[in-house]
Amino acid sequence: MRKATRNEVNVTELRQNLPAYLAEVGKGREIEVTSRGRVIARIVPGGDPRQEARERLAAARKLSRVGDVVSPTGEKWDAER
């Protein structure tokens, strides 16, 4: 496996040495995949899905306003639409 600059690896190198690069990602390293010198993807270590979901919910709470969604609004609407 060739050492990549700035954690970059081209697609061909990645294909030839995928297990070794995945092992590096498993150790916490982020890898940028390049094609023709341009970054096309990043491989990042997986996190705890539950913690990530909690973080997304916390971020959504900051941007959302929850109101009363059960009480009538007085608006007429057609359920057939």
Q: Judge whether 12 lies within some domain.
A: yes
Listed range (37-41, 62-66, 69-73) with the worst mean pLDDT: 69-73
Report which secondary-structure segment, H or E, holds 59. helix 49-63
Stated pTM of the model:
0.56
Percent residues over pLDDT 90 in the chain = 56
d(C-alpha 22, C-alpha 20), whole Å: 5
Q: Judge whether 53 lies within some domain.
A: yes
Q: Which domain holds residue 10?
A: 5-63
Q: What average pLDDT does this structure show over 23-46? A: 94
Look up the CATH number of the domain holding residue 48: 3.40.1620.10
Q: Judge whether 37 lies within some domain.
A: yes
